[in-house]
Amino acid sequence: MFKKISVLSILFIIMAQIAISQETMIINDAWVREVPPGSSVSATYMTIQNKGDDDQLIEISSDVSENAELHTSKVDENGVASMEMIKVLEIPAGKTVEFNPGGMHIMLIGLKESLVGKESINLTLEFTEAGEMQIEVPVKKSAGESHHHHN
């Protein structure tokens, strides 16, 4: 009897975590850029709205890439564009963070397969407070925007 109660308690706690993450972090307008076959990287964009307490995005992974990293694009005083990795993204309570071409984005590095013809990919976002969220991200052709290459 005790084992049954313990297992049920653990399941309840896990389900509560999932419900909390889906209520506090709202993901909108997610999409991943379709890149030509043979490309080893792509970028993902979205908005994350935090309806809960202050939180942090601490880990990202995808089923189609070896690695996924949060990056921001910077242009220096000489007009030279570069990328900077963000290890932890602070998402204050009540705020919305936007990931856009030419700005903050998720880099999918070491693509395991072509994105051409794929309808969507799976992305996992891990937050310190909201926990883990799995989202389905549609693949879209780029609208003529260029993405700067990483060094």
Range of the domain at 122: 2-141
Who's near 14: CB < 8 A, 6+ residues apart? none
- How far apart CA 37 and CA 43 sit, in angstroms, is 15
Instruction: Render the burial of 138-149: b for 16+ CB within 10 Å, e for the rest.
Output: ebeeeeeeebbe
Number of domains in the chain: 1
Classify residue 150: in a domain, yes or no.
no
Note the Cα 48 to chain centre separation in Å: 9
Classify residue 72: in a domain, yes or no.
yes
Q: Tell me: the pLDDT tens digits for 82-107?
A: 889 999 999 999 999 999 998 999 99
Q: Tell me: the pLDDT tens digits for 97-143?
A: 999 998 999 999 999 999 998 999 999 999 999 999 999 999 998 75
- CATH assignment at residue 20: 2.60.40.1890
Quote the pTM value: 0.77
Classify residue 53: in a domain, yes or no.
yes
In one-letter notation, the amino acid at residue 80 is: V
Classify residue 109: in a domain, yes or no.
yes
Classify residue 74: in a domain, yes or no.
yes
- How far apart CA 33 and CA 139 sit, in angstroms, is 6
Classify residue 146: in a domain, yes or no.
no
